[in-house]
């Protein structure tokens, strides 16, 4: 039992840690209709609880994508009745560039429409 056998333990544990810290692997987004639907879940179901959020488009205030070295997160700010706003967090580390771009474009359209509607209502 030398240092080589230690590598057989360390390397898989390192990969498992990166897999766990990158977050949920499956992200689904649907903006058809009057509601936004976000689903975020793991391939291995016992690792973390699945997220499933659906809310009307008019509640979306803003979004932010945080891109760290090994993980990406999407922060959605929505309006609520009780607390002026709520921030929802989704793991999007496994999206490719095209999927990420499509997500940004779609969310930007919704935010822009909401701001225009708000201005029209104020005027």
In percent, the amount of the chain with pLDDT more than 70 equals 96
How many CB atoms are closer than 10 A to CB 107? 20
Average of per-residue pLDDT across 58-83: 90
Model's pTM, two decimal places?
Answer: 0.82
107 contacts 115 by C-beta, under 8 angstroms: no
Q: H or E segment at 11?
A: helix 3-21
């Amino acid at each position: 039992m030398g240092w080589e056998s230690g590598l057989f333990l360390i390397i898989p544990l390192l990969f498992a840690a990166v897999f766990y810290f990158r977050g949920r692997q499956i992200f689904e987004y649907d903006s058809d209709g009057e509601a936004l639907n976000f689903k975020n879940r793991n391939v291995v179901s016992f690792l973390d609880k699945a997220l499933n959020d659906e809310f009307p488009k008019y509640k979306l205030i803003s979004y932010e994508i945080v891109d760290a070295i090994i993980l990406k997160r999407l922060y959605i700010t929505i309006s609520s009745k009780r607390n002026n706003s709520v921030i929802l967090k989704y793991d999007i580390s496994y999206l490719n560039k095209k999927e990420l771009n499509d997500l940004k474009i779609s969310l930007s359209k919704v935010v822009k429409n909401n701001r225009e509607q708000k201005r029209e209502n104020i005027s």
